[in-house]
């Protein structure tokens, strides 16, 4: 009973900020703090308006340079209400998002999610890329959910930061993605510490960060993977 209570109530109803240090060759992002919010599933079990407000408050308290939202917003809450609460997110270089599977047009509210976010100051990466100017050089921000065709058109110089709503195979990531930030697989709601893959993975000069996310999908339980606002410290 204790295990069930932990998995079905105590852990999924919690929220924490977890810091992750990442030393990598990413000049444009050196010294940055990036807050990552993945899989909120707003309106789902444990994710009501009050919880969204708590997510925003805890994120803003970290004073991030960037806030990245890696999709799966749709959990039953009206898109306008969800986006209005997330509109209070603050970051020096802005708040950016990609859409997840639950946000795509097959859902009743899904077509409204991207416009609602954009009306509330959250930039949804649906085009090839955007360029952020930093003191260390340009940062090119792009989403992988629409495929990597846009990467062939990005400027030849600059640090490329890629967003994905799902976990890609790091070996198949485009070489220009110096850092890819991804949301979790839904199986990541359950993880034994000694079996769980590392949050930060590296290969061939590329880094992949996978957030454990906040909400739940399918069975509304979490075990060994507490809901997390991830804070990346780029060193």
Q: Which domains does the chain have, with CATH numbers?
A: 15-234 (3.60.21.10)
Mean local confidence (pLDDT), 66-76: 93
Q: Give the closest residue to 66 by CA, choosing from 87, 88, 93.
A: 93
Sign of torsion over alpha carbons 191, 196, 200, 202: negative
> Per-residue pLDDT for 219 more than 60?
no
Rounded-to-integer distance, Cα 167 and Cα 165, Å: 7
CA dist., res. 103 & res. 110, Å (int) = 5
Q: Can you tell me the mean pLDDT for 157-172?
A: 88
Range from 48-52, 156-160, 186-190 that averages highest in pLDDT = 48-52
- Report pLDDT for 3: 46
The 10s digit of each residue's pLDDT in 2-44 is 444 454 545 656 789 999 999 888 888 999 999 999 999 999 8
Q: Would you call 25 helix, strand, or coil by DSSP?
A: coil
The DSSP code sequence of 112-153 is HHHHHHHHTT-EE--SS-EEEEETTEEEEEEESTT-SGGGGG
Identify the pLDDT of residue 184.
Answer: 81
Q: What angle do CA 162, 39, 133 make, to 5 degrees?
A: 30
> What is each CA distance from 44 to 82, 123, 205, in whole angstroms?
12, 23, 38
Q: Give the CA count within 13 Å in the CB-facing half-sphere of 149.
A: 4
Alpha-helix residue ranges (DSSP H) falling in 47-204: 49-61, 79-86, 110-119
């Amino acid at each position: 009973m204790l295990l069930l209570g932990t998995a079905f109530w105590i852990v999924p109803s919690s929220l924490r900020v977890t810091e992750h240090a990442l030393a990598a060759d990413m000049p444009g992002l050196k010294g940055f703090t990036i807050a990552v919010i993945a899989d909120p599933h707003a309106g789902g079990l444990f994710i009501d308006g009050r919880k969204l407000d708590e997510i925003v408050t805890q994120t803003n308290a970290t004073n991030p340079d960037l806030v990245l939202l890696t999709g799966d917003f749709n959990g039953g809450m009206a898109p306008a209400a969800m986006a209005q609460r997330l509109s209070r997110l603050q970051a020096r270089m802005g708040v950016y998002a990609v859409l997840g599977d639950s946000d795509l047009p097959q859902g009743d509210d899904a077509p409204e999610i991207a416009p609602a976010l954009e009306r509330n100051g959250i930039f949804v990466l649906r085009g090839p890329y955007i360029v952020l100017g930093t003191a260390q050089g340009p940062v090119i921000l792009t989403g992988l959910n629409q495929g990597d065709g846009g990467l062939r058109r990005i400027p030849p110089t600059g640090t490329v930061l890629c967003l994905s709503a799902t976990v890609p195979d790091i070996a198949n990531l485009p070489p220009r993605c110096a850092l890819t930030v991804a949301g979790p697989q839904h199986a990541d709601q359950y993880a034994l510490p000694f079996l769980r893959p590392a949050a930060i993975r590296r290969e061939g000069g590329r880094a992949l960060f996978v957030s454990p996310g906040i909400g739940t999908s399918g069975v509304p339980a979490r075990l060994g993977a507490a809901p997390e606002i991830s804070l990346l410290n780029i060193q």
